[in-house]
């Protein structure tokens, strides 16, 4: 039996190979498994103006939202790191906007893999319900 995330891992790996990371050299690919089982990938894109870059997770999220996706089962992150790396805080917050309970899988070049729930990585996210209601 194959792992249902195999296809998602492959999409993340392909996206990582396309990353633009000339400054850090840290290429990252991410792929979201959408609620309808489609997969949408993204990669990190750096900029000489460092704050203008985007992480792979948020690139995948933006692409998925542009396709009309709003609910996700999992995100798979692939890097060349030795150890699996979880998403940064900004990406955790962005993903929590849509699916705070999703599974987060990180796979390192070594083959090591780690799994968390997004709720474990970001236990108290700022969500739409955190905003004051309109009077």
Distances from the Cα of 90 to the Cαs of 5, 36, 40, 55, 75, in angstroms? 24, 25, 19, 9, 15
Q: Give 19-34 pLDDT, tens digit per residue.
A: 999 999 999 999 999 9
| Range 60-69 average pLDDT | 98
Q: Tell me the DSSP string of 92-104.
A: HHHHHTT-TT-EE
Q: Which letter does DSSP use for residue 54 in this model? A: B
User: What's the pLDDT score for residue 90?
Assistant: 96
Active site residues: 57
Q: Which letter does DSSP use for residue 4 in this model? A: T
Q: Give 98-121 pLDDT, tens digit per residue.
A: 999 999 999 999 999 999 999 999
């Amino acid at each position: 039996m194959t792992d249902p995330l195999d296809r998602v891992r492959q999409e993340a790996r392909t996206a990582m190979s396309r990353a633009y990371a000339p400054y850090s050299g840290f290429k990252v690919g991410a792929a979201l498994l959408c609620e309808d089982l489609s997969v949408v990938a993204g990669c990190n894109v750096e900029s000489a103006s460092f704050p203008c870059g985007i992480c792979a997770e948020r690139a995948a999220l933006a692409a998925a939202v542009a396709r009309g996706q709003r609910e996700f089962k999992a995100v798979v992150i692939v890097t060349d790191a030795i150890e699996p790396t979880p998403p940064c805080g900004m990406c955790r917050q962005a993903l929590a906007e849509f699916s705070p309970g999703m599974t987060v899988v990180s796979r390192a070049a070594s083959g090591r893999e780690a799994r968390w729930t997004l709720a474990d990585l970001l236990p108290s996210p700022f969500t739409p319900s955190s905003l004051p209601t309109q009077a």
